[in-house]
Structure formats: structure tokens, C-alpha cells
Amino acid sequence: GENVEQHPSTLSVQEGDSAVIKCTYSDSASNYFPWYKQELGKGPQLIIDIRSNVGEKKDQRIAVTLNKTAKHFSLHITETQPEDSAVYFCAAIPPPSTDKLIFGTGTRLQVFP
């Protein structure tokens, strides 16, 4: 079955710097890759997603890139702010399922003022 690996497990950056989180997946047929942000005591919040027919997607300070050949995708956060501090999860949906999200193990991002 699909396996999603996520690195690094923790990431500390200075406010204003960029942060990059990387994920790899095993099933080449996977075609949807969302990123979730989870703050303490809350459920995961969808922040950006990408489908397999697109190589990059941006939304203000966040962007996701997808390399289908290498089976990896990355989250890029620019101009980080303390409120970006949270745990970030990548996920994938492997066929034949169109619904079952397979999550990575998470990255704890700390942004220091």
C-alpha cells in the first residue's frame, strides 16, 4: 500500500526565513497531495493541495511543488511568522481509493521571533 515519508521531523527557523518540508510517496498512481497544519489541541487545517497534473501551486506565502518522476512533493513557506509555528502533515490518496488520505508523520515547525 501507499507509504508517505516526511522530513524533517522538526524544523526551527528565524522569523522571516523560509521553511521547506519534504515528502515522498511510494505509489506512482497517487494523484492528490494535500498539506495540513495542526495547532495544539485542534484538528488538521487544509492549507494547500496539489493534483498530479500540476507541478506547482502558490497561495500567498505558501507553495507546494510536485515531482511525479521522483515521487516527492514539498511545502515551501516564505517570510515565516511566529503564527506559522505548528505541526505540518503531508498526505496522499492512493488509487483505487478516491478518499482515504495516507498521512506522513508530521513536521513540527518552530518560528522564533
Partner 1 sequence: DTGVSQDPRHKITKRGQNVTFRCDPISEHNRLYWYRQTLGQGPEFLTYFQNEAQLEKSRLLSDRFSAERPKGSFSTLEIQRTEQGDSAMYLCASLQGSDGAIEQYFGPGTRLTVT
Binding site for partner 1 (CB under 8 A): 4, 6, 32, 34, 36, 41-46, 49, 89, 91, 93, 97-106
- Give the whole-angstrom CA distance, residue 16 versus residue 1: 39
Q: Toward partner 1, which CB reaches closer, 52 or 78? A: 52
Q: Toward partner 1, which CB reaches closer, 77 or 88? A: 88
Cβ of residue 28: shortest distance to partner 1, in angstroms?
Answer: 19
Q: Toward partner 1, which CB reaches closer, 40 or 113? A: 40
Cβ of residue 51: shortest distance to partner 1, in angstroms?
Answer: 8
Cβ of residue 46: shortest distance to partner 1, in angstroms?
Answer: 6
Q: Is the distance from CB of 4 to CB of 23 less than 8 angstroms?
A: yes
